[in-house]
Amino acid sequence: MAAGLTVVVDYGLCNIDSMLRALEECGARDLERARDPRSIEKASRIVLPGVGSFTAGMRNLNQLGLAEVIRHRSADRSVPFLGACLGMQLMAGSGTEGADEGATEGLGLVPGAVVRLDRKSDSERIPHIGWNEVAQADGCALFRDIPQGSDFYFVHSYRVDLQDPRLEAGRTDYCGGFTSAIALHDRPIFGTQFHPEKSQKHGFQLLRNFLAL
């Protein structure tokens, strides 16, 4: 398991220590925390975690020269990519969180925009914090050996509004329902709105599944 270099992208916003520890525990032996585009160029797998705003995240990725190399490597059908929480949101084409006006361009790995969650009842709170179920799409490699409807840990106020609903690999019934996992059909590119590194047993199984790709 986990042959080759797994790179966790450090773009100055996210608390990536827990992701690094979780990946190591799940079997990643050749593991690197990277801000250097050259590290991403040689990676066998790329993980983009994240905590913070969309606009600040893209600003840092661009300033560090990481956005373009992530786009380039993600076009390679042999390089698995996982975006988690803000990392999944940055996969979208655009987002407004943290922008003074208009929208900020994202990585564009999936067609769609990042929009704020919209409360549908008084019992729902934003940010959405805590454990919630994920209804899995059939056949997604990320969810292998994970029971349908398992709980994962969320911390977010925004969601990805996909242009192509066929890319939705998981959905969570909160604020009218939102995409909680993404899987491209032609490349090993995945996203989770939840934090797998903080989701205990099922989150660690998901990371093991990713490392096995």
What local confidence, expressed as pLDDT, does residue 118 receive?
94
From 85, 97, 128, 168, the catalytic residue: 85
Does the structure show a pLDDT above 90 at 127?
yes
Q: Which residues contact 4 (CB under 8 A, 6 or more apart)?
A: 30, 43, 44, 45
From 26, 156, 175, 195, the catalytic residue: 195
**Model pTM above 0.85:** yes
What count of other Cβ atoms lies within 10 Å of the Cβ of residue 26? 22
Q: What rounded mean pLDDT belongs to the chain?
A: 95
Domains and CATH numbers, the chain: 6-211 (3.40.50.880)
User: What 3-state class would DSSP assign to 23?
Assistant: helix
Q: Whole-angstrom Cα distance, residue 21 to residue 77? A: 27
Q: Whole-angstrom Cα distance, residue 72 to residue 75? A: 5
Would you say 48 and 6 are in contact if contact means Cβ atoms under 8 Å apart? no
What local confidence, expressed as pLDDT, does residue 1 receive?
54
Burial class of residue 51 in the structure, from the number of CB atoms within 10 Å of its CB (0-12 exposed, 13-18 middle, 19+ buried): middle
Token duo for residue 77: 């059908």
- State which H helix or E strand residue 46 sits in: strand 45-48
Nearest to 209 by CA among 74, 21, 23: 23
- Condensed to tens digits (0 to 9), the pLDDT of residues 161-198 reads 999 999 999 999 999 999 999 999 999 999 999 999 99
Identity at 123, one-letter amino acid code: S
What local confidence, expressed as pLDDT, does residue 164 receive?
97
Q: Whole-angstrom Cα distance, residue 36 to residue 80? A: 19
Cis before 127? omega within 30: yes
Does the structure show a pLDDT above 80 at 101?
no
Token duo for residue 79: 């390089």
Determine whether 197 is an active site residue. Answer: yes
- Quote the strand ranges of 76-122, DSSP E: 81-84, 94-95, 104-105, 112-116
The pLDDT of 75-92, averaged and rounded, is 95
Confidence of residue 14 (pLDDT cuts 50, 70, 90): confident
Confidence of residue 126 (pLDDT cuts 50, 70, 90): very high
What local confidence, expressed as pLDDT, does residue 2 receive?
65
User: What 3-state class would DSSP assign to 189?
Assistant: strand
Determine whether 26 is an active site residue. Answer: no
Please state whether beta strands 128-133 and 112-116 pair in parallel, antiparallel, or not at all (unpaired): unpaired
Q: Whole-angstrom Cα distance, residue 93 to residue 103? A: 10
Please state whether beta strands 158-162 and 112-116 pair in parallel, antiparallel, or not at all (unpaired): antiparallel
Determine whether 175 is an active site residue. Answer: no
